[in-house]
Structure 1
Amino acid sequence: MKKLVSAVIAFALVIIGITTGFVIEHGNSHDKTGEYAVELNEIERLIEQGDTDTAIIRTKQMREAMRTENADNINISIIIMGSICLIFLLSVGGYCYFTVIRPFGRLTGFAERVAQGDLETPLEYERTNLFGKFTWAFDSMRKEILRARTCEQEAIENNKTVIASLSHDIKTPISTVRAYAEAMEMGMSRAEDREKYVSVIIRKCDEVAQLTEDILAHSLSDLDKLRMHPEVFELNGFLEDLLADLNTQNDIIFEKPSYTIYMNADRNRLSQAVENLITNARKYAGTNIDVHINCDENNAYITFHDSGEGVPDEDMPFIFGKFYRGKNTNGEKGSGLGLFIVKYIVCQSGGDVRARNNNGFEVTLTLPVYEE
Structure 2
Amino acid sequence: MSTFRKLAAAVIVLFIAVIAGLNIYLLRSGDSGTYRVEAKRLADRIEETGSTDISGFPHLTGVYSGEQLYRSDEHYLIIEAGGKLYRVEYTTEGRNRTVWAVNCVLAALFLLILILLVYIRRNIIVPFGRLNTVPQELAKGNLAVPIPEEKSRLFGKFTWGVNLLREKIEGDRQKELSMQRDKKLLLLSLSHDIKTPLSAIKLNAKALARGLYKDEEKRRSAAESINSRADEIEHFVSEITKAASEDFMEFEVTQGEVFLSSILRRLSDRYAQQLAVSGTKFTIDRFDDCILSCDPDRLAECLQNLIENAVKYGDGRQIGLSFDKMDGCELITVSNTGCSLEEKELPQIFESFHRGSNAENVQGNGLGLFICKRLMSLMGGEIYADIREERFCVTLVVRLA
Same fold (TM over 0.5): no
Instruction: Look at both structures and tell me which one has the larger radius of gyration over its CA atoms.
Output: 1
- Structure with the greater relative contact order (CA < 8 A, sep ≥ 6): 1 or 2? 1
Query: TM (normalized to structure 2)?
Result: 0.38
Query: TM (normalized to structure 1)?
Result: 0.41
